[in-house]
Amino acid sequence: MSQQGYVAAPPYSQAQPGMGGYQGGFGTGPAQPLYGYYGGPPQAFTAPPTGMMKLPVSSAAGMPPPPESSQYNPNVHQNGAHHQRYPAPPAVSASYGQPLQSQYNSMASSAPPPTQQLTNQMSAMNFGNYASGPMQSPPPVSSVAQQPFQTPPPSAMGQPQMPPGAQSPHMSPQMSPPQLQPGNMQMAGQPMTGPPMSGPLMSGQPMTVPPMTGMGRPFPGPPACQPGYPQQAGQFGGNMAGPQPGMPGGQFGGNMAGPQPGMPGAFPGAPGGLAGPPQKKLDPDSIPSITQVIEDDQGKQGGKVYKTNLRGQVPPLVTTDFTIEDQGNASPRFIRCTTYSLPCTADLAKQCQVPLASIIKPFASLQKNETPLYVVNHGETGPIRCNRCKAYMCPYMQFIDGGRRYQCGFCNCVNEVPVFYFQHLDHMGQRMDIYERPELSLGSYEFVATMDYCKNNKPPNPPAYIFMIDVSYNNIKSGLVKLICDELKNLLENLPSEEGMESSAIKVGFVTYNKVLHFYNVKSALAQPQMMVVSDTAEMFVPLLDGFLVNYQDSRAVIYNLLDQIPDMFADTNESETVFVPVIQAGVEAFKAAECSGKLFIFHSSMPSAEAPGKLKNRDDKKLVNTEKEKTLFQPQKGVYEQLSKDCVAQGCCVDLFLFPSQYMDIATMADVPSHTGGSVYKYNNFQVETDGEHFLRDLRKDVQKSIGFDAIMRVRTSTGFRATEFFGAIHMNNTTDVEMAAVDCDKAITVEFKHDDALSEETGALMQCALLYTTINGQRRLRIHNLSLNCSLQLSELFKSCETDSLVNFFSKSACRAILNQPLKNVREILVNQTAHMLACYRKNCASPSAASQLILPDAMKVFPVYINSLMKTAPLVGSTELSTDDRAHQRLAIMGMGVEDTQLLLYPRLTPLHNMDVSSEALPAPVRCSEERLSDSGMFLLENGHSMFLWLGQASPPDLIQNIFNLPSLAHLQGNMCALPELDNPLSIKVRSIISGLIEKRANSMKLQIVRQKDKPEMLFRQFLVEDKGLHGGASYMDFLCYVHREIRQLLT
């Protein structure tokens, strides 16, 4: 099929000089190697050399496009042996060398394109079926049927041919709507009669939607060619795209969309001022909806028991509420995969571009009704392992020779069974004791480790927690120090302990600091605590060994005394300078002396400016945003910080940082140690005890009490044919295989990418085993084992059917967040879009049944993938806006690196729940609605949360009785701006709303501060940036526009 008018300029590039008015994408073309699989050598997408005249594609009806167009040729993909996923751009390349004339759609044609030819830009962009596999359907009907306003059909395919000049970013009103056919049906759209269907789509129900112009266009701008509005290049009402002929280069009219030179933003967004009469929009209900996908999965699998006995079965979504029964594969709470059916060969993997990865959360919390992990103790001999590959005994070992030997499922080596472990086989060849031994019948279990697995071959001591409080002027004045000291009295009563133990084995210690460090001796024999000061911060040491780390129960009276005294001791301080690195060094030294691992809780409020190692200078520079040097804002300062991370990991010292900044702090550097030691960073801007105190204390309580393992080292083993190559997380790596973490808690996840090193077999499938060696909070050395078996297939349709969108999104989020450390943001965003288009084009080409090119066909398992990728590009780290604080961007980047699948899912698609019309007597939560302004109602009350922020939004027409029941106020006008908790009122609505809010705060890894916003108030802008289906506040396309853009990219790849 000839795709008329599609250009072979690299996707996303600007119009090349000498090539009529081709529509450039957003921004200059990426440097050459950016195509193809993250970081593989350049693929077969060649940009035409600058200045080369392109033949108009429509030169002869039905001729294929000229050879250098993007031939989507799966076989030309070179082998991606590149280690680095996003390669650094080469020094000079065609697309970089060009002047940065317009950073998006330069419409270079000065002649106004005739309406006629516009009709076909994305002619009837049909959303086709989200098919679950290969589909049969009637042959494509010629496009004439799809155009209610007919244009004379030319020869060839019955699609209007158009010269390149017609590639305008604006669609004419003559364009028929995108048609979306759910299920496995396809139809050519007839002109719509009757009202459009609204509500969720039913499978197999054909529908068409009214002609659209406003929404479905890939680019902003009013509907083209309204009667009485002559369309001239550069005269689009209030929304001009790029420098127009006859206009000075950088002058943009009205509403600016997309990255202007020196302007934030990734994509152009929705229309600016629409000229002319309002048009009917494409019905947003007709494009794939995340809330619908979540609701469907919950309906299908919610409340059921999921058994893990089958190889390669795709689990329910992370958002679904279900119970897991381990029957030989690890629970999806511990391991999720981007696809549960791996391609058999590296070539297939290359062709489909779907990253092969697992997201492993070794300490994930289980539900109350799920069995905790069994602990297996083989005594002196320790765990049984394969002699060759060192994999641990698991359900994938095959016993042979009457039970005397076993063949390893990972490397096929045949091993002798130790005498004490021998057991006869039954008539099926299985051991008689298979169900009595967790390691033979379960996917996850623990082994007690022997001395060989301990440092210096001696058992470890229980870990310790050290609380280190910055007592500089700001923290004393704000009341923070007193708040922390008061809370610690309660918190220390609830330190985590092993099941069955009466009290916690964790030791505690206390340090306060400003320019100098104060250590406290709280030995139980003392009547009063003793303070020792270390003022030489260049050579850090701990001035006392005995009495610094103590058992809380023994020293409770002395510790209480100390916590009462600290706020008074420093009440009159004027010291505003602080040190930072020496504080962490002191913690490492204390753990060294006590020969234990542990965690530092550091409460800090300003950039370390005192003369000491690790002193920082302000390097925040907004002028670097959207330049090649923007990446430096995310890079930590090297030197002492880098060494400090290594020292912490070596000692098993995890750092948790609670920050209370009032200005720039260089979080990229200060949070470097937590982000390599399995720690967390919490941040409270402009902290005030009244409004932020409770939020901070909830975080602190969760952090101290969460289940955790220390001094951990993890290795992922795989069966032959593929291996783990890349690791993302709050981790440190000394070599290419061992993932080291000073600590790992129930919320931290490590994302592991796999590559083929040989062919896999459909018969045997693929196996992986994650082994984590760690110290428990009791001081016992253990091995935690998680096993998972996947299918392998030669059919791409199997791979797409077994994909898991939420896991894919986690992988892309982390790889993009790592990439921005060494590449311009623009390149990273381009790669995300390219790879999205590539995966979907591969599905379209190899798995979907033939249909008109104008239909967007998405795999069922990935139909909402574009929503998440568009949302990812609008997150603070990736958006490139000078309005966002550098520290906030760096903080979010580091947070994403440690996230599990459910965290990235929620972050990128917040829950928006209507609370005004719910049934207060029902136990069930109200169903969330789509994250878009269109779903809000003036008289409604909506709760939005994404795991980090929480808003209660009130429409300006909220009925007085609603306001009375929730706030005990007569009307919305009486509401005070700084309220951060709802009053406790005794009426059903208030009780229900408060229980929903506290339930969510309890459930999420982080506490969230409730922000109450009224419609049309200033703070509402903050709330709106979470409506991810709409156009981004700081740049970024709406979901609809992005989908149109991706569809165009796919068509370009397929021509």
- Work out the percent of the chain whose per-residue pLDDT is above 90: 67
Query: Residue 845 and residue 349: Cα distance in Å, rounded?
Result: 15
Q: At what angle do helices 901-908 and 865-872 cross, to 10 degrees?
A: 80
Query: Residue 330 and residue 309: Cα distance in Å, rounded?
Result: 10
Q: What is the residue-averaged pLDDT of the chain?
A: 79
Lowest mean pLDDT among 72-81, 596-605, 638-647, 934-943: 72-81
Query: Residue 18 and residue 15: Cα distance in Å, rounded?
Result: 8
Provide mean pLDDT across the span 147-162.
38
Q: Mind listing the pLDDT tens digit for each residue in 882-900?
A: 999 999 999 999 999 999 9
Report the pLDDT value the prediction gives residue 1025, as an integer from 0 to 100: 92
Q: Is the pLDDT of residue 948 over 90?
A: yes
CA atoms within 13 A on the CB side of 888: 16
Query: Residue 992 and residue 978: Cα distance in Å, rounded?
Result: 22
Q: Mind listing the pLDDT tens digit for each residue in 493-507?
A: 989 988 878 889 999
Q: Mind listing the pLDDT tens digit for each residue in 724-742?
A: 999 999 999 999 999 999 9
Tokens of 801: 């059917």
Q: Mind listing the pLDDT tens digit for each residue in 1008-1034?
A: 999 999 999 888 999 999 999 999 988
Query: Residue 893 and residue 825: Cα distance in Å, rounded?
Result: 13
Report the pLDDT value the prediction gives residue 281, as an integer from 0 to 100: 54
Provide mean pLDDT across the span 669-679.
96
Provide mean pLDDT across the span 96-108.
36
Q: Mind listing the pLDDT tens digit for each residue in 75-90?
A: 434 343 444 445 444 4
Q: Is the pLDDT of residue 402 over 90?
A: yes
Q: Mind listing the pLDDT tens digit for each residue in 578-593?
A: 999 999 999 999 999 9
Maximum distance among all Cα pairs of the chain, rounded to whole angstroms:
99
Q: Mind listing the pLDDT tens digit for each residue in 831-885?
A: 999 999 999 999 999 999 888 888 899 999 999 999 999 999 999 999 988 999 9
Tokens of 367: 């539900």
264 pLDDT tier (thresholds 50, 70, 90):
very low
Provide mean pLDDT across the span 385-405.
96
Report the pLDDT value the prediction gives residue 183, as an integer from 0 to 100: 38
Report residue 487: phi and psi, to 5°.
-70, -35
Report the pLDDT value the prediction gives residue 282, as an integer from 0 to 100: 65
Q: Mind listing the pLDDT tens digit for each residue in 809-827?
A: 999 999 999 999 999 999 9
CA 625, chain centre distance (Å): 22
Query: Residue 76 and residue 81: Cα distance in Å, rounded?
Result: 15
Judged by DSSP in three states, 232 sits in: coil
Tokens of 399: 């016993």
From residue 376, how far is each of 393, 438, 445, 475 by CA, in Å? 11, 7, 7, 48
Provide mean pLDDT across the span 565-576.
95
Report the pLDDT value the prediction gives residue 350, as an integer from 0 to 100: 95
Report the pLDDT value the prediction gives residue 229, as an integer from 0 to 100: 38
Provide mean pLDDT across the span 288-310.
96
980 pLDDT tier (thresholds 50, 70, 90):
confident
Predicted model pTM: 0.77
Q: What secondary structure letter does DSSP report for 972?
A: G
Locus of tokens 């021509």: 1055
Give the number of other Cβ atoms within 10 Å of residue 23's Cβ: 27
Report the pLDDT value the prediction gives residue 148, as an integer from 0 to 100: 37
- Helix (H) / strand (E) element for 645: namely helix 640-651
SS3 sequence of 346-414: HHHHHHHCCCCEEEECCCCCCCCCCCCCCEECCHHHCCCECCCCCCECCCCCEEEHHHCEEECCCCCCE
Tokens of 319: 């958002």
Locus of tokens 């479905």: 216
